[in-house]
């Protein structure tokens, strides 16, 4: 085990879901006045490393998680004893990383009296961790909690679906749950007419926006530099500090993207260049009841105004945000036009383009600092990372503003949450 040091539309024809009556699991703004608001105090993330090739390829997820847990509390001067609970989103570790999370908890110097649990809602696991902590605050179980997400896609594979019934093959929807993610992207592109040119143009935009943000130092406030070790092919170890997202390719061109071969089917349109990158990383978000946060003299970075999780057909799982976002906005009493920034996870350009066009979102509001095509998509981490990135982007605008975090979810779901930045 390595020890780290923290340095600083419409659905497919025939679908039963055809309109706004989609069933959603929701938790809206708390009743009882502004003192009961669920607020975000602070958040940090690691840089995102390239899986199996990058600076975190030999780093265990408990170490990545410990780095961000420690950084968040250190930044705001909060003792871990003051936390009521910790929730960690994770997808690939055995048991959703329950053992890993408790180990990270102790590596971070947290007392045994503070509990921790994990959640696996696949690509939305990091956001679900935030919503779980928010739910505990609303139920008055806790006043403060830490919501995290972590994934090492270097050390764990997505190839094992686990133990499933032989009857799966007899049920079309169940069978669709194991359709490869790349094929679900191709299904979206074909069914909803998202051409290769649109996908490549979206991917180029992601790279350009991320490169600009990186060159301007916009990620420095949110990234916790981490010292670790990597082992080369000859078994030699070297020390390094990972402080920059490794997937950003400033030299990307539309011509170069257009030359890439389809990755999942010979006549397809989904390529390595217009898909999210396989990655390693972690993020942590400190969440609390406004009254408790203010009593401790802590800042308020954002207010959770609404959230929703919806189900969609598994074989086009990527359309999830097109249905989760309206549900969350309705709960918050807002419309697409009220939102300043949309952080929509770029699992694939095909599905991201579909969702943006379906909802009529102006492209300049989408992922202004780039998304998973450029930055990477460490599955359990991404939702928490998006919250950190969103709220820092809203803060840079220096005025009251609203933002949305959303993502599609494997097996056919979408999740979204609405946040308000209260202004300076």
Mean pLDDT computed over 120-144: 98
* Alpha carbons 211 and 133: distance in angstroms, whole number: 33
Query: How many other C-beta atoms can be found within 10 angstroms of the C-beta atom of residue 13?
Result: 7
User: Whole-prediction pTM value?
Assistant: 0.92
Q: Which helix (H) or strand (E) holds 15?
A: none
Mean pLDDT computed over 93-109: 96
Q: Which residues contact 47 (CB under 8 A, 6 or more apart)?
A: 55, 219, 223, 225, 226, 242, 243, 244, 245, 246, 281
| Predicted confidence (pLDDT) at residue 424 exceeds the cutoff of 80 | no
Q: Which residues contact 213 (CB under 8 A, 6 or more apart)?
A: 219, 368, 369, 370
pLDDT tens-place string over residues 172-216: 999 999 999 999 999 999 999 999 999 999 999 999 999 999 999
In a domain, 341, yes or no: yes
Mean pLDDT computed over 97-104: 98
- Would you please indicate which residues are annotated as catalytic (active-site) residues? 123, 377, 408
pLDDT tens-place string over residues 209-256: 999 999 999 999 999 999 999 998 888 999 999 999 999 999 999 999
| Predicted confidence (pLDDT) at residue 25 exceeds the cutoff of 80 | no
Length of the chain in terms of residues written: 424
Q: Which residues contact 255 (CB under 8 A, 6 or more apart)?
A: none
* Alpha carbons 321 and 308: distance in angstroms, whole number: 10
In a domain, 203, yes or no: yes
DSSP secondary structure letters along 31-76: SS-GGG-EEEEEEEEPPPEETTTSTTTT--HHHHHHHHHHHHHHHH
DSSP secondary structure letters along 136-167: HHHTTS-SEEEEEEEEETTTS-S----S--GG
In a domain, 29, yes or no: no
In a domain, 1, yes or no: no
Which position has the token pair 């959230």?
307
In a domain, 207, yes or no: yes
pLDDT recorded at residue 33: 79
Beta strands 302-311 and 413-421 are antiparallel
pLDDT tens-place string over residues 378-409: 999 999 999 999 999 999 999 999 999 999 99
CATH of residue 81's domain is: 3.40.47.10
- Please report, for residues 162, 359, 412, the alpha-carbon distance to residue 270 in angstroms, rounded to integers and kept in the order given: 26, 22, 19
Reported for 104-110, long-range contacts at CB under 8 A and 24+ positions apart, including other chains, are 104/61, 104/62, 104/63, 104/65, 104/66, 104/69, 104/150, 105/69, 107/62, 107/63, 107/66, 108/65, 108/66, 108/69, 108/70, 108/80, 109/70, 109/80, 110/69, 110/80, 110/83, 110/86
In a domain, 414, yes or no: yes
pLDDT tens-place string over residues 304-328: 999 999 999 999 999 999 999 999 9
Mean pLDDT of the chain: 92
pLDDT tens-place string over residues 42-78: 999 999 999 999 999 999 999 999 999 999 999 999 9
Total structural domains in the chain? 1
- State which residues form the domain around 284: 36-152+175-419
Strands, sheet with 237-242, edge to edge from the N-terminal-most edge strand: 5-6, 226-231, 237-242
């Amino acid at each position: 085990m390595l020890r780290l040091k923290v340095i600083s539309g419409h659905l497919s024809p025939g679908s039963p879901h055809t309109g706004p009556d989609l069933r959603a699991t929701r938790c809206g703004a708390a009743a009882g006045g502004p003192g009961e608001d669920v607020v975000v105090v602070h958040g940090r993330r690691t840089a995102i490393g390239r899986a199996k090739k990058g600076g975190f390829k030999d780093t265990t997820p408990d170490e990545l998680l410990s780095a961000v847990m420690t950084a968040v509390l250190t930044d705001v001067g909060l003792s871990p004893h003051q936390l009521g609970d910790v929730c960690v989103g994770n997808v690939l570790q055995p048991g959703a990383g329950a053992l890993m999370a408790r180990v990270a908890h102790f590596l971070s110097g947290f007392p045994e009296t503070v509990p921790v649990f994990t959640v696996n809602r696949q690509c939305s696991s990091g956001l679900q961790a935030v919503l779980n902590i928010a739910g505990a605050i609303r139920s008055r179980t806790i006043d403060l909690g830490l919501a995290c997400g972590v994934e090492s896609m270097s050390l764990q594979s997505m190839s094992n679906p686990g133990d499933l019934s032989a009857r799966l093959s007899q049920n079309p929807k169940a069978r669709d749950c194991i359709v490869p993610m790349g094929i679900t992207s191709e299904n979206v592109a074909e069914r909803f007419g998202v051409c290769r040119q649109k996908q490549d143009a979206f991917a180029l935009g992601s790279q350009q926006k991320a490169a600009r943000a990186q060159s301007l130092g916009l990620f420095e406030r949110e990234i916790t530099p981490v010292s670790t070790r990597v082992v080369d092919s000859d078994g030699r170890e070297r020390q390094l500090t990972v402080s920059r997202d490794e997937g950003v390719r400033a030299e990307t061109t539309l011509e170069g993207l257009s030359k890439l071969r389809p990755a999942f089917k010979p006549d397809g349109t989904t390529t390595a260049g217009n898909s999210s990158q396989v990655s390693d990383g972690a993020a942590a978000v400190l969440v609390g009841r406004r009254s408790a946060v203010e009593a401790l003299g802590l800042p308020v970075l954002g207010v959770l105004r609404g959230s929703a999780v919806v189900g969609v057909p598994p074989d086009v799982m990527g359309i999830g945000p097109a249905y989760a976002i309206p549900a969350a906005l309705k709960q918050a009493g807002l419309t697409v036009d009220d939102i300043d920034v949309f952080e929509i996870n770029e699992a694939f350009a095909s599905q991201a383009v579909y969702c943006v066009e379906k909802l009529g979102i102006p492209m300049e509001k989408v992922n202004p600092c780039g998304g998973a095509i450029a930055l990477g998509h460490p599955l359990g981490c991404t939702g928490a990372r998006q919250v950190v990135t969103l709220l820092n982007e809203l803060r840079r605008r220096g005025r009251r503003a609203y933002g949305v975090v959303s993502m599609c979810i494997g097996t056919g779901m979408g999740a979204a949450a609405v946040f308000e930045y209260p202004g300076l």
